[in-house]
Amino acid sequence: MKVSKCKGMVDLLPLDMTKFRHIEQVFRDSCLKRGYDEIRTPTLEYLHLFTASGTLTPDMLGRVYSFLDWDGWSGERVVLRPDGTIPAVRLYLEKLESDKITKLFYVENTFTFEETGSERRERWQCGAELIGSSEPLADVELMLLATEVLRELGIGPLMVRLSHAGLIKTLLAELGLGAAEQTEIFDRVLEGDIKALGAIKTDNAELERALALLLDVKGISPEFVGNVRALLGKALPNFEPSLNDLASITEMLSAMDCPYEIDITSGRGFEYYTGIMFQFYSSTERVGGGGRYDDLIPLVGGPPIPASGFALYVDRLMDMLKMEAISYQRVLVKPLASDMSVLKTSLETARLLREAGYITELDLGQEKPSGYRWLLSMPKHGLFQLVDQVTGKKSKASSQAEVLKIMEESN
């Protein structure tokens, strides 16, 4: 019986880690350049942070890893972080709250139980939160940040699918549904039930026409929002704020040539969304998502501060990332004698080569050295011997400087 990893958990192998770090680096650089600050929240949080209504959907709450901590005799549970945004908001309220705009980002794992164990139960995400602005420009900035990261990673063709939590909530209210039913249908949309909205019947002709348009047509310009507005007519003023918001956002996205599609059934994720919801797709694969969550900070006990954010799904990006075989210039330094002077020269040479940017290892008894561009042998007397594994060319050098020169000339 071999010892194996836990069901639903994933090992990241050397190539996976190379991809992981590459994604992380591109994301971090893009965030830092825009003035976002990095944070990291703890893996364990109190369960009650997530149980308030309007945070996680009941389906998500039913799949969290909750348990009693070593001091949990009161029966109050802790949870392995199931989401990145709510802990970030908790951290903001506990440590950072101010009247300024706060921009935060993080690379964190989240844990969600999945029954079969064939999918990941631990997932990694690159998340960004923009706290303190209610402007559509803030949402657009987040979308542009995400698409820029995806483009730099070579992920594409990109498509941003837009939905609007405010619009859906107004729709459900105008359709005359009770509060519990509104929440239930909104949750079903968020959990991916694209038929949830279509099944609702209404006697209101304006509403019916507008709903049909929203469900049947995927808008690709701000004009679509105008068309919806025309069908709704002046009789339904409650839709105005959401439609204005959607119009401003799509105008800006069009101006920036960001490809998008308005699809109200596309919203995914969290009950805490209040405004625009955006999902990032590469072809049919969803690689990230986010939205505006103006009510979340008050829900977890803070003042009414608006906020918006997104997360990119690192695991999916790793699967899609095409990385050329890593073309590092690796060197293996092999001392041919074990006396101190040879070892000293070998170690010093290795250090100089590293300083010059080569990945340099000392031969510790590899049987068949592979994966190295250069093999450098250090004899007790006489010249250094250098073999270029790519061309098979053998050279001799009398000094470290000469070794470096040969290597550089070969590139």
SS3 411: coil
- As a dihedral over the C-alpha atoms of residue 223, residue 225, residue 230, residue 236, rounded to 10 degrees, the angle is -160
- As a dihedral over the C-alpha atoms of residue 321, residue 326, residue 327, residue 333, rounded to 10 degrees, the angle is 170
The window from 64-72, 100-108, 227-235, 285-293 that contacts other proteins (CB under 8 A) reads 64-72
For other proteins, what does the binding mask look like between residues 11 and 50, x meaning CB under 8 A?
Answer: -------------------------------------x--
Contact residues for 180 (Cβ-Cβ < 8 A; gap 6+):
none
CB 36 within 8 A of CB 105: yes
Answer yes or no whether residue 76 interacts with other proteins by CB under 8 A: yes
Nearer to other proteins, 53 or 398 (CB): 53
Kindly state the number of chain residues that form the binding site for other proteins, as judged by CB under 8 A.
Answer: 20
Q: Which of 17, 32, 53, 393 binds other proteins (CB under 8 A)?
A: 53
CB 387 within 8 A of CB 369: no
Q: Which of 4, 73, 340, 368 binds other proteins (CB under 8 A)?
A: 73
Rounded to a whole number of angstroms, the minimum distance from the CB of residue 73 to other proteins is 4
Q: Which of 75, 178, 237, 365 binds other proteins (CB under 8 A)?
A: 75
Answer yes or no whether residue 120 interacts with other proteins by CB under 8 A: no
Contact residues for 219 (Cβ-Cβ < 8 A; gap 6+):
225, 227, 228, 250, 261, 262
Q: Which of 14, 70, 365, 370 binds other proteins (CB under 8 A)?
A: 70
Answer yes or no whether residue 72 interacts with other proteins by CB under 8 A: yes
- The rounded distance, in Å, linking the Cα atoms of 323 and 330 is 18
The window from 70-78, 123-131, 149-157, 335-343 that contacts other proteins (CB under 8 A) reads 70-78
Answer yes or no whether residue 77 interacts with other proteins by CB under 8 A: yes
Q: Which of 52, 220, 321, 336 binds other proteins (CB under 8 A)?
A: 52
Answer yes or no whether residue 71 interacts with other proteins by CB under 8 A: yes
CB 150 within 8 A of CB 144: no
Q: Which of 10, 44, 61, 347 binds other proteins (CB under 8 A)?
A: 61
Answer yes or no whether residue 179 interacts with other proteins by CB under 8 A: no
Tokens of 255: 């101006």
Residues between 315 and 344 that touch other proteins (CB under 8 A): none
Answer yes or no whether residue 115 interacts with other proteins by CB under 8 A: yes
How far CA 355 is from CA of 190, 345, 389, in Å, comes to 52, 15, 22
- Residue 383: how many other CB atoms lie within 10 Å: 14
Rounded to a whole number of angstroms, the minimum distance from the CB of residue 115 to other proteins is 5
249 phi and psi, to 5 degrees? Answer: -65, -45
Nearer to other proteins, 58 or 298 (CB): 58
- The rounded distance, in Å, linking the Cα atoms of 22 and 24 is 5
Judged by the rule CB under 8 A, the positions of this chain that interact with other proteins are: 1, 48, 51-53, 58, 61-62, 66, 68, 70-77, 115-116
